[in-house]
């Protein structure tokens, strides 16, 4: 899809769309490890941005979530975001921290494109990422309030732009 674009549209859409593909593939692989699903490859998006084919194969071959997180924590691009991920997973036995970290990555990439000039298709895509995140944050707040969470606990559930 991005290959059909050119110029500023292509250069500004690639980080947002590419990160979305990588994030989705990472989430599919890790969730499948968590619940023990087989035939994961059938569910992956057959495209990558910063992940490469070899890394995806290693993730698929990993025995469990902690091993996959260790692999991601050593990745040249995702190590910045996923450093300490194994420890967080072992403490919580949940991937929610990872989903928040990857949403924050999407926000950061989108913010750079959204405030840039000239306007492009990437600007619209970045705006949609912000709106999706806003809806997820509102949902998290409402769910948290319904569950009786305190303000500091609610804040930890939000992906906020820095």
For 105-136, write each residue's pLDDT tens digit. Answer: 999 999 988 887 778 888 999 999 999 999 99
**Residue with structure tokens 């913010």?**
111
pTM above 0.75, yes or no: yes
Is 42's pLDDT higher than 90? yes
Question: In this predicted structure, what is the pLDDT of residue 26?
Answer: 95
């Amino acid at each position: 899809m991005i290959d059909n674009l050119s110029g500023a549209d292509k250069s500004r859409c690639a980080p947002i769309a590419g990160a979305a593909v990588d994030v989705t593939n990472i989430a599919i692989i890790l969730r499948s490890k968590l619940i023990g699903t087989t035939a994961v490859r059938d569910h992956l998006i057959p495209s990558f941005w910063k992940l490469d084919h070899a890394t995806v194969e290693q993730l698929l071959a990993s025995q469990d979530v902690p091993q996959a997180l260790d692999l991601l924590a050593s990745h040249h691009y995702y190590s910045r975001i996923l450093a300490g991920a194994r420890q967080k997973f072992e403490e919580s036995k949940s991937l929610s921290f990872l989903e928040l970290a990857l949403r924050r990555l999407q926000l950061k990439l989108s913010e750079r494109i959204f405030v840039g000039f000239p306007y492009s298709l990437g600007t619209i895509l970045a705006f949609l990422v912000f709106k999706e995140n806003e809806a997820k944050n509102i949902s998290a707040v409402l769910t948290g309030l319904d569950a009786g969470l305190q303000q500091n606990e609610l804040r930890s559930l939000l992906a906020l732009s820095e």
